[in-house]
A and B are shown apart, each in its own frame.
Chain A
Amino acid sequence: MVKIILRNQEFEVRPGMTLKDALRQCAILPESVIATRAGEMITEDEILKEGEVVKLIAVISGG
């Protein structure tokens, strides 16, 4: 499985799907996050592989 982490939330998706599809499955808008894998930023067309961990950085701030 592939682990997706956003702040204190964790999701798991099947390997072989794109980041775009993984975010859709987790109900996360790609516009609201930056995705990193092993410290590198990745784009939505990236295919996720077994055992990978994708860390999402939330971009919205304000008040």
Chain B
Amino acid sequence: MPAVWRSLPINCHVVGRSLDAGLMRGPLSSPATLKVRDARRDICLLHVDSSPAFTPEIGRAETLKVGDTVYAVGFGVGRLTTSVGQVEALYPYEGSVVVRTSAAFPMGASGGALFDSNKRLVGILTFYRHGHETHAYYALPIEWATQLANSTQTLDNALASPFWEEPADVQPWFMQAAGHEIDGEWGKMLKVTERWVAAEPANTEARRALELARSKLQ
């Protein structure tokens, strides 16, 4: 049986160096063991023999489009939280897309689920940024988790920081641009997006961000 049949993705920043975790759903619980870690992408896989929750259909983040309805579900601040929102941006990154959404989630919902309008699991709720102008919520593509589950390689980056926690000036272009966007720092966003477009001329999100910065500065 493939490893994916007994895997549960979670954000590495939540489990740290711990090798064991507990899964809880109402009165049900089950132990889980850390199986694979990709700390840089912030995806860890837990091995679980018996899940206390139902399993959703797996979709693909790459099939999403900007404006699509999505659902964010997780256990934040000690209770189940859900929200409905839209896909705000899809950032091509490391073979898939990082999803930016307006479907809000609180601290503690990391590892929770982002579903598409067909109720398919397409992303893992991972981090958010509260800015001066607006907020942005991000989900990692479920493709990263399924790739990791099917990988035979053992990654040796347990001490790496997640890409989204790196210092601002070495973060991916989309993180730098979005950071300035949510703070309304249009001049800084313009400089970053000009370099982003130069580095990735085919990236539609880069061009959209550049146009947004230009329009805000007019």
Chains A and B bind each other = no
